[in-house]
Amino acid sequence: METTQKNFYECIIIGAGFAGLSVASSLQHQNITDIILFNSKNSCGKPWMERYERLHLHTVAKESEFFGYPFPPEYGAYASREQFANYLDNSAKKMKLNIKHNHLVTKIEKYSNQQQQHQQMKKISWKISVQNNNLTSTDNTLSSSASCSYYYCNNLIVAVGVFDQNMPKMPKYEGMKSFIENRGRKRLIHAVNYSSTKTLGWKGLKVLVVGYGNTGSEIALDVIEGGGYPTSLIRSPIRLINREDYGRFRNMPYHPILKQMLPYDPYTNKLPEYIWKYFCQFFDMISYIVTRYRYGSIVDKHGIQIDKVGPIMGLEYEHVGPPLMDLGTMEKINDGECKVITSNITRLNATGVEFENGTVKEFDAIVFATGYIAFTNFFNVFGKEMINEIGIENIINAGTTGHKVKDSNHLWISFGGLPMMRHQAIVIVDEIVKSDNYKNSNKDGMKKNVTRKRSSL
Q: Are 105 and 128 in contact (CB under 8 A)?
A: yes
Neighbours of 165 (CB within 10 A): 15
pLDDT, residue 147, reads 73
Q: List the single range of 47-56, 250-259, 378-387 with lowest mean pLDDT.
A: 250-259
Distance of CA 135 to the CA centre of its chain: 23
Same fold, 8-164+373-443 and 170-372: yes
pLDDT at 244 over 90: no
Does the domain spanning 170-372 belong to CATH 3.40.50.300? no
- 420-to-18, 111, 269, 401 alpha-carbon distances in Å: 11, 30, 13, 8
Characterize the bridge pairing of strands 35-39 and 8-14: parallel
Cβ proximity of 342 and 333 under 8 Å: no
DSSP assignments along 52-83, one per residue: -TT-B-SS-GGGSSBTTBPPPGGG-SS-BHHH
Q: Kindly calculate the radius of gyration of the chain based on its CA atoms and give it in whole angstroms.
A: 24
At residue 401, the pLDDT reads 80
How far is Cα 327 from Cα 57, in angstroms, rounded to an integer?
A: 12
Predicted confidence at residue 402, as pLDDT, reads: 83
Is 411 in contact with 397 (CB distance < 8 Å)? no
Q: Label the pairing between strands 188-190 and 365-368.
A: parallel
* Mean pLDDT rounded to a whole number for the chain: 85
pLDDT of 260: 75
Task: Please give the C-alpha separations between residue 338 and each of 186, 239, 244, 329, 346, in angstroms, as whole numbers.
Answer: 22, 19, 21, 8, 21
The domain spans of the chain are 8-164+373-443, 170-372
188-192, 195-199, 220-224, 445-449: least confidently modelled range:
445-449
Q: Give the mean model confidence (pLDDT) for residues 380-407.
A: 82
pLDDT digits 0-9 by tens, 93-135? 999 999 999 999 988 988 866 545 445 555 678 999 999 886 4
Asked whether 366 and 345 are in contact (CB, 8 A), the reply is no
CATH superfamily of 8-164+373-443: FAD/NAD(P)-binding domain (3.50.50.60)
